[in-house]
């Protein structure tokens, strides 16, 4: 898609960096595995840090493992403009998720300096630590740490190899003893901007390169453990079994039906992880642990689906002679982008000859947490067939460049005007 004006950003530089970063933790031909706080994650952070310093930014890795690069502004009393995302990945991930938001932000600030633009306020680029949550089963760690929203016991969470987040963070270079000193004060950040691939099929179906995000669905993450009684698969009659897997399967199927029950609604429900004990061919399953991911932009509807799910758990446990425990891992309300930022994005897109659609985000992002701390805005970039969290994830260089240019123009407007809340 052609745009009215030539790009200001250095597109070849941006895409070389995306390709170079994708070589760290490479999985097959196109995939990436850079789990949070892993050696691969640290190697990636150090590479991005070197690019930030090359661009003239002062850099640091804070106590939470966040990589932060800073460009000073004319007035250090103004709330700063923060732009960023994450570079950690899922275990079976793609090259663009999070990455274009960090490297796009870096390209924005490097272009600012090359154009001789001195921002009114300081601008910070952030690669937040552990947005994905795949290693310790709870995401948005770095951004929640920076904004003072961590919960009790988070450092004691273990990965699949028994490594605690505390130990992984220390090995990474973080410092739990300095958490308080690394938290940002209320009002320190005025605006947060994030560029991200859509991770859905809407832009691709509309054949348009970018979209303006209106809000982020509220994610509810639960861990369910259903317990029955193990027995010999060949001798215990079906009527006398307390099979935890059968009860769990009934709940999992019902979750799918619940999430699909209102045609056209954006409700989604997923069970993405399941473990069976003792996990033997000829033993009746005694214990099953599975995760629930339930999301909706309409919180009343999401709450109704949650209550229906809890009722289903009760019925399944009673029907199959099981007990169960339920742990809430994440519970966030839907959060909406600031109207004034959306307006700036629309105006800047119009000057580029674009008319981007507005769309909501089903996945959560670092912006979800930042929304409690300051005004935020997001730009989505088209990804082929809506595929993400998969090595086949793909966004074209042209689309990423257009999204980064729109991010640049939005940032220039905010940084030059000292813009903020209406």
Q: What is the pLDDT of residues 222-267, one digit of tens each?
A: 999 999 999 999 999 999 999 999 999 999 999 999 999 999 899 9
Separation CA 154–CA 77 (nearest Å): 33
CA dihedral sign, ordered 385, 391, 396, 401: positive
Q: How many CB atoms lie within 10 A of CB 344?
A: 22
Distances (CA, A) of 169 to 60, 61, 162, 174, 253: 15, 11, 14, 5, 37
Q: What is the pLDDT of residue 6?
A: 84
Q: Using alpha carbons, select from 194, 26, 41 the residue that is nearest to residue 124.
A: 194
Last residue of a domain, one of 299, 331, 363: 331
193 and 123 in one domain?
A: yes
Q: Quick check: 85 pLDDT over 70?
A: yes
Domain of 348, CATH number, reads 3.40.630.10
Q: Using alpha carbons, select from 317, 367, 314, 316 the residue that is nearest to residue 338.
A: 367
C-alpha Rg value of the chain to the nearest Å: 23
- Mean pLDDT (the chain) is 95
Last residue of a domain, one of 331, 360, 386: 331
DSSP string, 216-228: EPEEEEEEEEEE-
265 and 123 in one domain?
A: no
Q: What is the mean pLDDT of residues 65-79?
A: 97
Task: Give me the number of domains the chain comprises.
Answer: 2
324 within a domain of the structure (yes/no): yes
Q: What is the pLDDT of residue 422?
A: 43
Query: Look-up: residue for tokens 């979800």?
Result: 368
Structural domain that includes position 323 = 218-331
């Amino acid at each position: 898609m052609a745009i009215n004006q030539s790009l200001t950003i250095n597109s070849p530089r941006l895409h070389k960096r995306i390709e170079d970063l994708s070589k760290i933790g490479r999985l097959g031909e196109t995939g990436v595995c850079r789990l949070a706080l892993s050696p691969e994650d640290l190697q990636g952070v150090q590479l991005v840090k070197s690019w930030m310093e090359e661009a003239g930014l002062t850099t640091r890795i804070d106590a939470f493992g966040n990589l932060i690069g800073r460009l000073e502004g004319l007035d250090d009393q103004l709330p700063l403009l923060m732009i960023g995302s994450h570079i950690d990945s899922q275990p079976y991930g793609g090259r663009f998720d999070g990455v274009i938001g960090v490297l796009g932000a870096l390209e924005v600030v490097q272009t600012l300096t090359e154009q001789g633009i001195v921002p009114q306020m300081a601008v910070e680029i952030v690669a937040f630590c552990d947005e994905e949550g795949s290693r310790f089963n709870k995401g948005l760690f770095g951004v929640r740490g920076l904004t003072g929203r961590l919960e009790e016991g988070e450092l004691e969470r273990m990965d699949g190899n028994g490594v605690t987040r505390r130990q992984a963070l220390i090995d990474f270079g973080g410092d739990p003893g300095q958490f308080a000193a690394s938290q940002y004060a209320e009002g320190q950040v005025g605006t947060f901007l994030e560029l991200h691939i859509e991770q859905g099929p809407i832009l691709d179906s509309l054949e348009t390169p970018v979209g303006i995000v209106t809000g982020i669905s509220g994610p509810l993450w639960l861990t369910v453990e259903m317990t029955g009684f193990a027995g010999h698969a060949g001798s215990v009659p079906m009527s006398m079994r307390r099979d935890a897997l059968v009860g769990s399967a009934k709940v999992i199927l019902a979750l799918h039906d619940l999430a699909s029950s209102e045609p056209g609604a954006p409700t989604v429900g997923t069970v993405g992880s399941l473990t069976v004990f003792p996990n033997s061919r000829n033993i009746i399953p005694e214990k099953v642990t599975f995760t629930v991911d339930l999301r909706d932009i309409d919180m009343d509807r999401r709450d109704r689906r949650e209550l229906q799910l809890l009722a289903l758990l009760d019925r399944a446990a009673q029907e199959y002679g099981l007990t169960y425990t339920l742990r809430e891992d994440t519970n966030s309300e839907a959060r909406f982008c600031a109207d004034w930022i959306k307006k700036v994005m629309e105006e800047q897109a119009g000057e580029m000859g674009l008319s981007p659609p507005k769309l909501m985000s089903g996945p959560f992002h670092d912006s979800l947490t930042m929304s409690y701390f300051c005004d935020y805005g997001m730009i989505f970039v088209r990804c082929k067939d809506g595929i993400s969290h998969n090595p086949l994830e793909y966004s074209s260089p042209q689309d990423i460049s257009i999204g980064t240019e729109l991010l640049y123009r939005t940032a220039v407007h905010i940084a030059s005007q000292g813009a903020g809340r209406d």
